[in-house]
Amino acid sequence: MQKTVKTFQKNKFQEIKISITEYQGNDLIDIRTWTLPQADGESTPTSKGISINVKLYPELKEGILALEKELKDGKLL
């Protein structure tokens, strides 16, 4: 199974994809940089990213919320 849940532009040559995927029987959250389509029309994943077991989602969410607080406190958002 592969389902992309969010894609956003990183720069003019790359995008970030957040996906739910499966590898060797494990359900994973994959956050990865992809190159934008070239002449062949296909985008390709890079090695830059992270895949974690979906069971770790609560910790990931907690980390993202803590990051948001720090960014707001530092007036970066």
Distances in Å between the alpha carbon of 7 and those of 15, 18, 32, 52, 66?
A: 7, 6, 10, 18, 22
Place of tokens 């895949």: 51
Domain range summary for the chain, segments of one domain joined by +: 2-73
By CB atoms closer than 10 A (0-12, 13-18, 19+), residue 52 is middle
Q: What is the pLDDT of residues 17-68, one digit of tens each?
A: 999 999 999 999 999 999 988 777 788 999 999 999 999 999 999 999 999 9
Residue 74, pLDDT above cutoff 90: yes
Using alpha carbons, select from 32, 2, 27, 39 the residue that is nearest to residue 14: 32
pLDDT at residue 41, as a whole number: 78
What number does CATH give the domain 2-73?
2.30.31.10
pLDDT at residue 62, as a whole number: 98
- The reported pTM is 0.87
